[in-house]
């Protein structure tokens, strides 16, 4: 009977000698017959390891061994057959010796007197015992003593060492392994013989134990890695069923590893990712080579979903090469996914307001064009700029300006429909795509509502501020294809809205581009006009409210165009500021005004208006010094006038420039006082020499509220040591009222319209001869004449 592997043979798989000591895995046995032909014994070879085969040659050797034993026994049982038995024994002994010496195992048998009966050379090599101690009949105690002297048993358990060194009979260690001093690991199996004595086998298991140790170490390393890695390690089959889940799953997904055993990812996948998971797994099973990566949402034990990046490889099962498994490393990438989403959002949205930026706006605009083409409907593009935003931003600071932009964005978003796109391009520039319009007129209605919403007062840090919005509108149809052209049209309409007075909207008109081109041509003409000296100054007197004597003249710039005639300052001054021409124009005006003022009787001063562009540019102080030096005018006879709107643009830079100018001895006046938002703040931050009350208050001075404002300004000016000038006095009644409120100097058509230089010099003499009570005799010019 041959059993190559008891575990695979149902007859022996549950045998106590297989499941317990000595854990038999291989068995080969043959019966032998004793005297009289009775089958009374079996010769067998057994091992704790299975064998791949036990061929004919090995079977023959076993059979020969059995025959040898059978013959020996029979020979001893019968003297009659002694001769034949000895002959058989000799033959069998020769065969046995050959068999024993060809074995890879060492074999040694001792009798009841503990003397060596049978051994092979392999015993000597595996035990380190010389052949001289292993001859037949040699006492085995000498063998044990020799081994003990060499320290062969030093590391064995005490009872086993006592049995080996002294022959102690009580021991349970019939099968044991020991490591020799040279590192060889020997497995020793001891079996008692029925009639006394024992048979020992010695097997070199050094390589096997080293391999097993290496395997255990490797498994231990991988287990340590798997159980201590931040990633969740999963082992499963190609049906996605999990058979191993590492402990990291507790921190990543909140489950105990046992809770996920025999489950599949599909049971925990987010419904929106179910199809993606199915497609991914189809790819894994189809290709099986390489590494596969996906990122899906897995349900956490707490109920929410976690973004999991899974890196998967398909492998062969070590224990069953025909079986295919998968190994996956699961990593929580929720933070990374959210960061990537944030980066994508930041790439397409404005950081301050959260609105779409220029890139996303263009994409939405292209979508609107495509939809209009398919549905044959119309939509609109709006370009929006806030009015007076820079003044608020500079006066209250950038944090307040940012808060204002967010508030405006919210108001605009509240007006628009959910499917409209509101974008911020930067600064105070917004853009809108109005989709799905029922009629072209709907765009204008929405623009009106936007203007009304933005114009409502906004509370910022306890202060109420007001801004407006100028809007350019262009309505597009299915015939429009170019997004750049559409926005250009909206931008042209926005320019028209600003030119119309701001806080309004204008729809694009085909000839609007021509008007803008005309302004461009006017800017070119202005450059030529500076070279050709087409500009000139006129002077409007500022007089003493009680005596009528001229205190100063305000120099006002005029342009006589060779073709268009007189161009009003309201048309060319903003254009000069936009084109940067106000700097050379302002320098010319300073030189010309100082040169003219020298001819006036002292101490009459000349006032020159200064643009914010001039104040922000370096070199204004040098220009003032050059004008004074070139004309010979003393610095205290030059007065520079700035408006509150100018101060609200880069206020820190401008106020620093004004301080430097004032240090030169030049007077500084605050013009159009009351039209800004933080007048009192500027009065505190800069000690103006003069305050000019805006004509709007003087026009309505008969109204108690306007009169109260004038009275308050006069009181503030007196307390701060600033002179007060009332602008726009046109009637004797207004003159009387401003006198009553304490204004000491006045300016307006009641006294004179702006005069050319010769007339201004004559006016000085004329005014000194007229009592203020007679001013009513001189009717002021009309607005057209002015």
Name which residue leads in pLDDT, 550 or 149.
Answer: 550
Task: Out of 98-107, 176-185, 211-220, 506-515, pick the least confident.
Answer: 506-515
How much is the average pLDDT of 398-427?
A: 92
List the Cα angle 485/486/489 in 5-degree steps.
85
Give residue 222's pLDDT. Answer: 66
Give residue 518's pLDDT. Answer: 54
What's the pTM?
0.43
Give residue 524's pLDDT. Answer: 73
Question: What does the pLDDT look like over 510-545, one tens digit per residue?
Answer: 765 445 545 556 667 788 888 878 899 999 999 998
> Rounded distance, CA 746 to CA 738, Å?
8
Query: Cis omega before residue 266 (within 30°)?
Result: no
Give residue 696's pLDDT. Answer: 84
Residues 637 and 629: beta-carbon distance below 8 Å:
no
Percent of the chain with pLDDT over 70: 87
How much is the average pLDDT of 429-441?
A: 90
pLDDT of 781 strictly over 60? no
Question: What does the pLDDT look like over 71-91, one tens digit per residue?
Answer: 777 766 665 555 665 666 666
Residues 104 and 122: beta-carbon distance below 8 Å:
yes
Give residue 543's pLDDT. Answer: 93
> Rounded distance, CA 315 to CA 328, Å?
11
pLDDT of 154 strictly over 90? no
Q: Can you name the CATH fold of 105-227?
A: Beta-Lactamase (3.30.450)
> Rounded distance, CA 742 to CA 745, Å?
9
Query: Cis omega before residue 9 (within 30°)?
Result: no
**How far does CA 295 lie from the centroid of its chain?**
17
How much is the average pLDDT of 103-109?
A: 85
Phi-psi region of 183 (alpha: psi -120 to 50; beta: other; left: phi over 0): left
Phi-psi region of 37 (alpha: psi -120 to 50; beta: other; left: phi over 0): left
Write the DSSP symbol of residue 477. -
Residues 641 and 609: beta-carbon distance below 8 Å:
yes
Please determine, looking at this structure, whether the domain spanning 349-510 carries the CATH number 2.40.110.10. no
pLDDT of 783 strictly over 60? no
Question: What does the pLDDT look like over 573-612, one tens digit per residue?
Answer: 777 777 678 888 899 999 999 999 999 998 999 999 998 7
pLDDT of 413 strictly over 90? yes
> Rounded distance, CA 101 to CA 19, Å?
32
What is the signed CA dihedral for 721, 727, 733, 739, rounded to 10 degrees?
10
Give residue 782's pLDDT. Answer: 37
How much is the average pLDDT of 362-381?
A: 91
Side-chain-facing half-sphere of 340: CA atoms under 13 Å: 7
Residues 100 and 118: beta-carbon distance below 8 Å:
yes
Give residue 411's pLDDT. Answer: 95
**601 class by beta-carbon count within 10 Å (0-12 exposed, 13-18 middle, 19+ buried):** exposed
Q: How confident is the model at residue 678 (pLDDT cuts 50, 70, 90)?
A: very low
Give residue 768's pLDDT. Answer: 65
Side-chain-facing half-sphere of 728: CA atoms under 13 Å: 14
Task: Out of 39-43, 116-120, 200-204, pick the least confident.
Answer: 39-43
> Rounded distance, CA 272 to CA 269, Å?
8
Question: What does the pLDDT look like over 184-195, one tens digit per residue?
Answer: 888 888 888 888
The top-level CATH class assigned to 229-339 is alpha beta
Query: Cis omega before residue 410 (within 30°)?
Result: no
Tokens at 393, concatenated: 């931003």
Average pLDDT, the chain: 84
Give residue 785's pLDDT. Answer: 38
pLDDT of 2 strictly over 80? yes
Residues 196 and 202: beta-carbon distance below 8 Å:
no
Give residue 409's pLDDT. Answer: 95
Selection from 528, 527, 506, 530 nearest residue 516 by Cα: 506
Question: What does the pLDDT look like over 379-406, one tens digit per residue?
Answer: 999 999 998 887 777 777 888 889 999 9
Q: How confident is the model at residue 672 (pLDDT cuts 50, 70, 90)?
A: confident
Question: What does the pLDDT look like over 440-484, one tens digit per residue?
Answer: 788 999 999 999 999 999 988 778 888 899 999 999 988 888 999
Residues 491 and 483: beta-carbon distance below 8 Å:
no
Residues 7 and 48: beta-carbon distance below 8 Å:
no
Question: Would 105-227 and 229-339 be classified into the same CATH topology?
Answer: yes
Sequence ranges of the domains in the chain: 105-227, 229-339, 349-510, 535-773
Residue with tokens 């997004």: 483
Give residue 519's pLDDT. Answer: 59
Which H or E run contains 735?
helix 732-740
Q: How confident is the model at residue 25 (pLDDT cuts 50, 70, 90)?
A: very high
How much is the average pLDDT of 485-508?
A: 86
Question: What does the pLDDT look like over 268-297, one tens digit per residue?
Answer: 999 999 999 999 999 988 888 888 999 999
Q: Can you name the CATH fold of 535-773?
A: TIM Barrel (3.20.20)
Give residue 770's pLDDT. Answer: 63
Residues 746 and 726: beta-carbon distance below 8 Å:
yes
Residue with tokens 């007075």: 501
Question: What does the pLDDT look like over 717-736, one tens digit per residue?
Answer: 888 888 899 999 999 999 99
pLDDT of 145 strictly over 70? yes
Name which residue leads in pLDDT, 212 or 740.
Answer: 740
Give residue 264's pLDDT. Answer: 93
How much is the average pLDDT of 322-334?
A: 88
Partnered with residue 560 across adjacent β-strands are 566
Sheet containing strand 175-179, strands side by side: 116-119, 106-110, 198-204, 185-192, 175-179
Percent of the chain with pLDDT over 90: 37
DSSP for 195-240, written as a single string:
TS-EEEEEEE-HHHHHHHHHHHHHHHHHHHHHHH-SSEEEEEETT-
Write the DSSP symbol of residue 184. -
């Amino acid at each position: 009977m041959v059993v190559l592997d008891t575990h695979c043979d149902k007859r022996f798989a549950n045998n106590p000698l297989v499941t317990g000591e000595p854990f038999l895995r291989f068995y080969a046995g043959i019966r032998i017959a004793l005297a009289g032909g009775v089958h009374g014994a079996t010769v067998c070879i057994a091992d704790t390891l299975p064998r791949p085969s036990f061929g004919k040659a090995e079977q023959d050797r076993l059979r020969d061994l059995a025959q040898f034993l059978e013959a020996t026994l029979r020979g001893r049982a019968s003297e009659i057959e002694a001769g034949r038995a000895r002959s058989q024994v000799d033959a069998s002994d020769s065969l046995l010796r050959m068999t024993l010496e060809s074995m890879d195992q060492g074999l040694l048998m001792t009798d009841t007197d503990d003397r060596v009966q049978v051994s092979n050379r392999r015993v000597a090599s595996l035990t380190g015992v010389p052949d001289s101690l292993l001859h037949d009949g040699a006492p085995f105690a000498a063998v044990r003593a020799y081994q003990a002297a060499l320290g062969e048993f030093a590391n064995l358990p005490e009872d086993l060492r006592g049995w080996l060194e002294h022959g102690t009979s009580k021991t349970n260690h019939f099968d044991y392994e020991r490591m020799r001093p040279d590192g060889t690991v020997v497995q020793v199996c001891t079996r008692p013989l029925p009639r006394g004595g024992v048979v020992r086998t010695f097997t070199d298991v050094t390589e096997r134990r080293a391999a097993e140790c290496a395997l255990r170490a490797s498994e231990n390393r991988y287990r340590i890695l798997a159980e201590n890695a931040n990633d969740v390690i999963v082992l499963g089959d190609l049906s996605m069923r999990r058979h191993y889940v590492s402990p990291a799953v507790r921190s990543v997904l909140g489950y105990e590893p046992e809770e996920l055993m025999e489950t599949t990812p599909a049971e925990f996948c987010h419904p929106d990712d179910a199809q993606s998971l199915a497609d991914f797994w189809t790819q894994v099973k189809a290709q099986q080579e390489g590494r596969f990566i996906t990122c899906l949402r897995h349900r956490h034990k707490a109920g929410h979903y976690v973004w999991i990046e899974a890196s998967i490889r398909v492998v062969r099962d070590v224990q069953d090469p025909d079986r295919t498994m998968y190994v996956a490393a699961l990593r929580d990438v929720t933070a990374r996914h959210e960061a990537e989403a944030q980066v994508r959002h930041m790439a397409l949205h404005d950081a301050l307001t959260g609105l779409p930026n220029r890139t996303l706006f263009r994409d939405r605009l292209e979508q609107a064009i495509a939809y209009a083409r398919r549905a044959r409907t119309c939509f609109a593009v709006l370009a929006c700029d806030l009015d007076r935003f820079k003044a608020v931003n500079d006066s209250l600071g950038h944090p307040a300006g940012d808060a204002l932009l967010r508030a405006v964005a919210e108001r605009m978003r509240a007006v628009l429909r959910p499917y409209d796109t509101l974008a911020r391009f930067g600064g105070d520039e917004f853009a809108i795509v109005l989709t799905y319009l029922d009629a072209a007129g709907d765009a204008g209605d929405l623009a009106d509502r936007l203007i009304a919403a933005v114009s409502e007062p906004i509370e910022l840090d306890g202060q109420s501020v007001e801004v407006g919005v100028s809007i350019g509108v262009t309505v597009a149809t299915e015939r429009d294809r170019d997004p750049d052209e559409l926005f250009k049209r909206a931008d042209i309409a926005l320019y028209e809205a600003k030119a119309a007075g701001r806080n309004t909207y204008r729809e694009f008109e085909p000839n609007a581009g021509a008007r803008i081109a005309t302004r461009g041509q006017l800017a070119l003409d202005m450059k030529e006009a500076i070279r050709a000296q087409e500009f000139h100054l006129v002077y409007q007197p500022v007089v003493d409210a009680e005596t009528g004597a001229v205190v100063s003249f305000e120099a006002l710039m005029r342009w006589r165009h060779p073709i268009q005639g007189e161009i009003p300052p309201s048309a060319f001054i903003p254009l000069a500021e936009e084109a940067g021409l106000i700097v050379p124009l302002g320098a010319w005006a300073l030189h010309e005004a100082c040169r003219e003022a020298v001819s006036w009787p002292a101490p009459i001063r000349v006032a020159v208006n200064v643009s914010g562009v001039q104040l922000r540019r370096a070199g204004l102080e040098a220009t003032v010094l050059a004008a004074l030096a070139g004309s010979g005018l003393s610095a205290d006879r030059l007065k520079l006038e700035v408006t509150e709107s100018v101060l609200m643009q880069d206020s820190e830079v401008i106020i620093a420039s004004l301080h430097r100018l004032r240090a030169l001895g030049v007077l500084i006046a605050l013009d159009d006082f009351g039209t800004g938002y933080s007048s009192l703040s500027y009065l505190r931050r800069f000690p103006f020499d003069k305050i000019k009350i805006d004509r709007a208050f003087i026009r309505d001075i008969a109204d108690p509220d306007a009169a109260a404002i004038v009275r308050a300004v006069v009181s503030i000016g007196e307390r701060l040591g600033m002179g007060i000038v009332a602008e726009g006095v046109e009637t004797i009644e207004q003159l009387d009222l401003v006198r009553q409120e304490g204004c000491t100097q006045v300016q307006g058509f009641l006294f004179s319209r702006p005069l050319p230089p010769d007339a201004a010099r004559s006016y000085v003499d004329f005014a000194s001869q007229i009592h203020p009570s007679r001013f009513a005799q001189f009717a002021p010019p009309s607005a057209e004449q002015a």
